């Protein structure tokens, strides 16, 4: 009788935990074959190769910043993807926008960017708003995480005013926003930076939507 009761209690606990988790499960943002769920210049800039989203080329200059955006907006989330960047001339750089929006009559986006490129891996930048680095890893961390021309694992977690970034499993940023009134919801976008001969690749893009202010990772 006692053993049966304990089993019943355990089942109730498991059910409660699952219910509390809600829909907090990872879902792919890219199916590896199509641009379903994304919008941008998929004629001239963005393409799909070998299950990867690609922009730019090592044979020509990317004249201006360009972004491939999700058609959905996200608030609190945990995003994971892989990124690889190569280049030969100019400012070889990329990044992942979040809580962002397209600027009308412009090729730019406004919002947070998880930066990526030499000297900027794992930094948090404010694109087209404050136009400055909000937080960045120290040089010693950059040396640990940066492997030019190789795949890097990037993780972005945003909850309320707080943002965490990781590159290759190493935390690079723990930032709390103090400026009031900034949007807490927006699109996620992949960037190729202009004024460079470069190519960027993304794959294994998945997101877990989180309950509002669910706490530290």
CATH number given to 25-209: 2.60.120.560
How far apart, in Å, are the Cα atoms of 2 and each of 5, 8, 11?
Answer: 5, 10, 14
Nearest CA among 196, 205, 192, 191 for reference residue 96: 191
The Cα 199–Cα 89 span in angstroms is 11
Block residue for tokens 């001339």: 89
What residues have CB less than 8 Å from 179, skipping those under 6 apart? none
Task: Using DSSP bridges, classify how beta strands 132-135 and 124-127 pair: parallel, antiparallel or unpaired.
Answer: antiparallel
Whether 213 and 160 have beta carbons less than 8 Å apart is answered as: yes
Domain range summary for the chain, segments of one domain joined by +? 25-209
Residue 139 DSSP symbol = H
- pLDDT tens for 4-38 read 544 543 434 333 433 444 457 999 999 999 999 99
Nearest CA among 37, 38, 90 for reference residue 67: 38
Per-residue pLDDT of the chain (217 residues), as tens digits, is 455 544 543 434 333 433 444 457 999 999 999 999 999 999 999 999 999 999 999 999 999 999 999 999 999 999 999 999 999 999 999 999 999 999 999 999 999 999 999 999 999 999 999 999 999 999 999 999 999 999 999 999 999 999 999 999 999 999 999 999 999 999 999 999 999 999 999 999 999 999 976 556 7
């Amino acid at each position: 009788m006692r053993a049966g009761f304990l089993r019943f209690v355990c089942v109730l606990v498991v059910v409660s935990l699952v219910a509390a988790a809600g829909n907090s499960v990872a879902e792919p943002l890219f199916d590896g074959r199509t641009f379903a769920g994304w919008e941008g210049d998929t004629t001239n800039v963005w393409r799909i190769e070998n299950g990867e989203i690609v922009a730019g080329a090592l044979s020509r200059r990317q004249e201006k910043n360009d972004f491939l955006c999700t058609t959905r907006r996200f608030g609190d989330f945990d995003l994971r993807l892989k990124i690889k960047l190569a280049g030969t001339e100019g400012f070889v750089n990329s990044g992942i926008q979040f809580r962002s929006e397209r600027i009308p009559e412009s090729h730019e986006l406004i919002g947070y960017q998880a930066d990526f490129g030499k000297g900027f891996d794992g930094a948090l930048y404010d694109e087209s708003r404050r136009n400055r680095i909000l937080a960045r890893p120290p040089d010693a961390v950059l040396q640990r995480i940066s492997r030019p021309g190789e795949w890097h694992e990037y993780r972005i977690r945003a909850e309320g005013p707080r943002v965490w970034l990781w590159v290759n499993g190493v935390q690079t940023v723990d930032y709390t926003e103090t400026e009031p009134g900034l949007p807490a919801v927006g699109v996620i976008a992949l960037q190729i930076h202009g004024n460079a001969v470069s190519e960027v690749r993304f794959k294994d893009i998945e997101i877990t939507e989180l309950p509002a202010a669910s706490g530290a990772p």
